[in-house]
């Protein structure tokens, strides 16, 4: 499902104009991105959590140059679904 399909589905269910819903969804995503960029997790009860995970420094290989490289420690965004979310998806698999 794409963002446009989500907007159309919400517009149909609520009767609100697509433009307003598009702006709301864009703002929602911006708030989540800004929060994660600042190191703050976002918790949505019953849905899941957008969290910042820390990756440790590790050794990698550049196989084209046959060199060992150090990949520095860094943060990555992640999503952890709520237990109720997981159960609903498991029970509704087609």
Locate the domains of the chain by residue range.
1-40, 42-94
Evaluate if residue 20 carries a pLDDT over 90.
yes
Homologous superfamily (CATH) of 42-94 is IHF-like DNA-binding proteins (4.10.520.10)
Partnered with residue 42 across adjacent β-strands are 50
Q: Which CATH class is domain 1-40?
A: few secondary structures
Check for a shared fold between 1-40 and 42-94: yes
Asked if the model's pLDDT at residue 1 lies above 80, the reply is yes
As a whole number of Å, the end-to-end CA separation of the chain is: 16
The alpha carbon dihedral of 13, 18, 20, 22 has a sign of positive
pLDDT tier for residue 92 given thresholds of 50, 70 and 90: confident
């Amino acid at each position: 499902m794409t963002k446009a399909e989500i907007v159309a589905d919400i517009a149909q269910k609520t009767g609100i104009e697509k433009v307003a819903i598009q702006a709301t969804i864009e703002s929602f995503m911006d708030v989540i991105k800004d929060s994660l960029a600042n190191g703050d997790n976002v918790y949505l009860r019953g849905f899941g959590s957008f969290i910042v995970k820390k990756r440790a420094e590790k050794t990698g290989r550049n196989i084209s140059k046959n060199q060992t490289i150090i990949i520095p420690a860094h943060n990555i965004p992640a999503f952890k679904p709520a237990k109720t979310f997981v159960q609903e998806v498991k029970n509704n698999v087609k």
